[in-house]
Each structure stands twice: as C-alpha cells, then as structure tokens.
Amino acid sequence: MDSKTIYLTKDGLGELKKEYEELSKIKRPDVLERVSQARSMGDLSENAEYVAAREELSFIDGRIDELEELIKQAVLIQESRSKSSQTVKLGSTVTVNIKGKKEVFTVVGEWEADPGEKKISHESPLGKALIGKKVGEKVEVEAPAGIVVYTIASVS
C-alpha cells in the first residue's frame, strides 16, 4: 500500500476498527476451525471444504492486513466546532442548489466515500470543486451529461 494519507472521520475510523475486531476475533478463528476440521477429513487434494476454507482464510488475512495499514495511516478529520464556518473543507456538510433542487453532501476521505449516503470523496470531481469554496459561490463540475453548476447554500 502506498503512503498516501488516509483521511477518515471519527465514525469512519470506528467502522474500520469494528470490522478489524470482528475479522480478527470472530471470523478468523471460525475459519481456522473449519480448516482444521476439513484437514482432519483426510485427502486434501479432493477436499473442497478444505480448499474453500483456505481461500476464505487467505481473504480474511489480506483484509486484516489492509485494515491494519489503514488504521495506522489514518488521519482524523477535525470536525468543525463552530457552525459559522463558511468554507468547505474535509468533514464539511455542504448544502448545494442544483437546478432549483437542494442536495446535501458530506465531504469525506476516499475510504469513507459512499454516494448512496451522500458522502463524497474530497478526491472526486465534485469534492475537489467544493473544497475551499464559500457559501454563495458556484462550482462547475464536468459530468457525463455535461457541465453541472452547483451553488453552495450552506456549510456546516
């Protein structure tokens, strides 16, 4: 994994730590038990359960390693205490107007981005356009359908 900074909110870091705990303390021991049981069944060359359990163990170990690196490299996004912040930054919740409709986005690090939950990465085209802008400013973002203009209504 490269040494790129991993920006996470407090909740995002908590989710990664929770997944790490579940994988290392619950799922991995269960799969190790399955490997052990399958191994005791005899001929490993024709034992599909053994092969499947080994593959799952390999996947879990890879994810545990990835989570350890992410947690080690994580930089917490400082959530703004003052509600008067007018400038968009990492961790900001931004209300924008698009063609008369209001949309609310939270700007997060790329590991936490989830478009379904309106969490956009600071690395995304919209995230990059919003960072550093203030209430009232317009940003233009290139989209597959053409240029979309967003007007920043509020920042918190």
Fold of the 93-155 domain: Chitinase A; domain 3 (3.10.50)
**6-76 — its CATH code?**
1.10.287.180
Domain limits of the chain? 6-76, 93-155
Residues 67, 16 contacting (CB under 8 angstroms): yes
pLDDT by residue for the chain (156 residues), tens only, comes to: 445 778 888 888 999 999 999 999 999 999 999 999 888 887 777 788 888 999 999 999 999 999 999 899 888 887 655 555 688 998 899 999 998 899 999 999 888 999 899 999 999 999 999 999 999 999 999 988 888 899 999 898
The C-alpha atoms of residue 108 and residue 93 are separated, in whole angstroms, by 9
Q: What is the pTM of this model?
A: 0.70
Residues 109, 13 contacting (CB under 8 angstroms): no
Q: Is residue 6 classed as helix, strand or coil in its secondary structure?
A: strand
